[in-house]
Chain A
Amino acid sequence: MRSQTGNNLDGPRPVLQITGLKKRFGKRQVLKGLDIAVYPGQCLALLGPNGAGKTTTIRIVLGLVVATSGKISVFGMPLPKYLRRVKYQIGVVPQMDNLDPDLSVLENLLIYARYFRIKHATARERARELLSFFALHNRKDEIIQNLSGGQRRRLLLARALINKPRLLILDEPTIGLDPQARLLIWERLKHLREMGTTMLLTSHYMEEVARLATRVIIIDHGKSIARGGPVDIVEKMLGTEIMEIYGPEEKLSILQQALNNCNVTAERVKDRLYVYIKQSCPELDNATKDFPTVVKRPATLEDLFLKLTGRKLRET
């Protein structure tokens, strides 16, 4: 397994490396010593509830937020010293749509290309390719207001790729989209990843992460609390299967006692018992026979996420 700190001499150098990143906004400590490394060709997903520090981390990399302490380097160049050089090779899909509403679809790409000092002819060629890659070529002269949510997101992606970035930063790239629009974007992103584009992704959609990410870091309260491959991490920390049992609270308590002989962990939420199964356990199947509602299914990233970050609502 690759070293996360990047101090192995023979492996590739990380595209993005963050060590001990801390950020305080007034009294609120948003990041409490975060370590991240993204290696070439990887898609690293940052998972975490709202307020966990995902967007702040991205904004620090882009120089929009100044870190309180910690080290960041991109393409081996330390920030903020080489911020400008680094930004020439980064593409960003922001969480909030900030397309230029005063400009058409094509103009959005051409004007954005100018900020990267890309020659006009090159920019036109690149814009043409990107618009057809994202199925927007028929709408190139459309004004932004007339685009659907999915089209806007695709244009944001096309814009993020106008400078052929070595690192693509995606901050909740399919937020607020319908399933069809989301599928199209996932398919395109997957294609880009297969072509070797390195990505840093934040998302709340576990399915998005499971499909796109090659590595996952779960962060909460400004620190990483779990990391690994999107499948391994669930198996290692939770198990392969999960059983949800609904029933009266007393009966569930008795059941919970009986589980001690099995290689499982259990979590009680009022009238529900979640049993995370690492190895098959015949006693469990027997013990749950009397319960009317028992659901057994493969464990997912979402289960792990909820287990680690809790089931309570965050923004209260």
Chain B
Amino acid sequence: MYQVWYRNLKVWLKHIRASLIGNLGQPFLFLLAMGYGLGRSVPEIEGLPYLQFIAPGLVASSVMYGAAFEATYGSYTRLTTQGTFEAILMTPVSIEELAMGEILWGATKGFLGGVIMLITLPLFGVMPDLWSLALIPILFAEGIIFSALGLIMTAIATNYDFFNYFTSLVITPLFLFSGIFFSLKALAEPLRQLLYLLPLSSVVELSRNLCYGRIQDDIVLQLTDVAIFALVCSATAIYLLRRRMIQ
């Protein structure tokens, strides 16, 4: 499992600069445009200026994008054109280890993007609380969720265009409706409950609360939500990749 992860790390380190800029560009641009631009004409939300309100959620979104893209476009290339998965399966590495290695790698890539973003928040006048340290393992778990989701798509994809469904029907809606840009608390009850079930919502909530040192009762519920999503998505990804590769 670690060997598969290491292989991907080694390749990534070869073009780390392009990869990092590509992954970090989007959340930073959102932070600038929405936070500075739109934020000046938007009142405080949940007691926070708009830029401060959206910054922790954008950290979570950066993990999601990094992990999901690596586990779709990256993993799919290794599965199909490069034949890397098959080459690995001719060695003692099992299909389960291969799948877990890929999930962990996608998680790592998303996680690194999120952590870098978190560290650079002070440049935008956002001072994370010491509680933010507790956010680090949560961001990694979030990486596992989206990396596993991506690998599920990879396991059922027939070509690269298939990932357009994933991006426009899963990733983009999550980005927009997980409480990054507006408070879910203000919504009517059934809709609010529904949106809170989304895999990104709990992380956004956790990210914002920990970032500003607000510890609330629902933290246990949110942590459970993240853990369940991570486990269920990983198990499904492993099962589907096995079904795809072992005839």
Residues of A participating in the B interface, judged by any CB pair closer than 8 Å: 25, 59, 62-66, 84-85, 87-88, 90, 92, 94, 96-103, 107, 111-112, 114-117, 163
From the candidates B14, B86, B91, B245, name the one contacting A115 in the complex (CB within 8 A). B91
* In contact, B6 and A94 (Cβ under 8 angstroms): no
Which residues of B sit under 8 angstroms from A111, Cβ to Cβ?
Answer: 6-7, 10
From the candidates B10, B11, B82, B245, name the one contacting A64 in the complex (CB within 8 A). B245
From the candidates B10, B87, B247, name the one contacting A65 in the complex (CB within 8 A). B247
Chain B 74-85 per-residue mask, 1 if CB under 8 angstroms from chain A, else 0: 000000001110
* In contact, B6 and A114 (Cβ under 8 angstroms): yes
User: Interface SS of chain B: helix, strand, loop or mixed?
Assistant: helix
* Size class of the contact patch on chain B: 20 to 34
B159 interfacial contact with A, CB 8 Å: no
Which residues of A sit under 8 angstroms from B90, Cβ to Cβ?
Answer: 62, 64, 87, 90, 92, 94
B89 interfacial contact with A, CB 8 Å: yes
* In contact, B10 and A66 (Cβ under 8 angstroms): no
Report 28 cross-chain contacts, Cβ distance below 8 Å, ordered by A residue: A25-B247, A62-B89, A64-B86, A64-B245, A64-B246, A64-B247, A65-B246, A84-B94, A85-B92, A87-B90, A87-B91, A90-B90, A92-B90, A98-B87, A100-B7, A100-B82, A100-B87, A101-B82, A102-B11, A102-B14, A102-B82, A103-B10, A103-B11, A112-B91, A115-B91, A115-B93, A116-B91, A117-B92
Instruction: List CB contacts (< 8 Å) of B47-92 with chain A.
Output: 82-84, 86-92
Complex CA–CA separation, A133 to B11 (angstroms): 27
Given A87-B92, A111-B10, 10 further pairs, Cβ under 8 A? A65-B247, A84-B94, A85-B92, A87-B90, A88-B92, A94-B86, A100-B87, A111-B6, A112-B87, A115-B91
* In contact, A94 and B246 (Cβ under 8 angstroms): no
* In contact, A98 and B83 (Cβ under 8 angstroms): yes
Residues of B participating in the A interface, judged by any CB pair closer than 8 Å: 3, 6-7, 10-11, 14, 82-84, 86-94, 245-247
User: Interface SS of chain A: helix, strand, loop or mixed?
Assistant: loop
Given A97-B83, A98-B82, A102-B14, also A115-B246 (CB < 8 A):
no
Nearest first, the 7 closest Cβ-Cβ pairs linking A and B are A98-B83, A115-B91, A102-B11, A98-B87, A87-B92, A92-B90, A114-B3
From the candidates B3, B84, B94, B247, name the one contacting A100 in the complex (CB within 8 A). B84
Complex CA–CA separation, A99 to B88 (angstroms): 10
Complex CA–CA separation, A112 to B92 (angstroms): 11
Identify the closest chain B residue to A56 (Cβ).
B247
Which residues of A sit under 8 angstroms from B14, Cβ to Cβ?
Answer: 102
Which residues of B sit under 8 angstroms from A115, Cβ to Cβ?
Answer: 3, 88, 91-93
Nearest CB of B to A97, in Å: 7
* In contact, A64 and B89 (Cβ under 8 angstroms): yes
Complex CA–CA separation, A302 to B86 (angstroms): 32
* In contact, A98 and B94 (Cβ under 8 angstroms): no
Most buried by A among B94, B246, B247: B247
* In contact, A107 and B10 (Cβ under 8 angstroms): yes
* In contact, A66 and B3 (Cβ under 8 angstroms): no
Which residues of A sit under 8 angstroms from B6, Cβ to Cβ?
Answer: 111, 114
Identify the closest chain A residue to B245 (Cβ).
A64
Identify the closest chain A residue to B6 (Cβ).
A114
Most buried by A among B14, B83, B87: B87
* In contact, B246 and A98 (Cβ under 8 angstroms): no
Which residues of B sit under 8 angstroms from A97, Cβ to Cβ?
Answer: 83
Nearest CB of A to B196, in Å: 40
Which residues of A sit under 8 angstroms from B83, Cβ to Cβ?
Answer: 94, 96-98
Nearest CB of B to A47, in Å: 23
Which residues of B sit under 8 angstroms from A59, Cβ to Cβ?
Answer: 247
Complex CA–CA separation, A92 to B93 (angstroms): 14
Given A100-B84, A114-B3, A115-B88, also A66-B11 (CB < 8 A):
no
Complex CA–CA separation, A114 to B9 (angstroms): 14
Which residues of A sit under 8 angstroms from B92, Cβ to Cβ?
Answer: 84-85, 87-88, 115-117
Complex CA–CA separation, A114 to B84 (angstroms): 14
Identify the closest chain B residue to A103 (Cβ).
B11
Complex CA–CA separation, A96 to B246 (angstroms): 17
